[in-house]
Amino acid sequence: HSQMINFFPNPTNEYLTISFGNLTQSESDFSLVDSAGKTVFMQKFKDPNSLETINIKALSKGFYLAVIENKTTRITKKIVIK
């Protein structure tokens, strides 16, 4: 399933765009988790477009895990904020 979802640009510094692939039909939760395991950003997408962009300017530089979850799927990918 992970090939359906993409995050770009990666590395990024201001905005992160999520390509939902074929998960656009379902409500999804997006979160960013820092290297200490703390959730630093969370957003719910009720009926996501194929592309959604979020502002991450407030986050510190480093490695994060980007997590998309819905009722049936959990996808995690590493994101670098520079």
Instruction: List all residues 6 or more positions away from 67 whose beta carbon is below 8 Å from its beta carbon.
Output: 29, 30, 31, 32, 33, 74, 75, 76
Question: Among residues 67, 22, 66, which one has the least CA distance to residue 48?
Answer: 22
Q: How many of the other CB atoms lie within 10 Å of CB of 4?
A: 14
Q: Band of the pLDDT at 72, cuts 50, 70, 90?
A: confident
Count the neighbouring beta carbons within 10 Å of the beta carbon of residue 64: 23
Question: Would the pLDDT of 52 be above 60?
Answer: yes
pLDDT tens per residue, range 18-47: 998 877 767 899 999 999 999 999 999 987
- 0.85 exceeded by pTM: yes
pLDDT at residue 2 is higher than 60: no
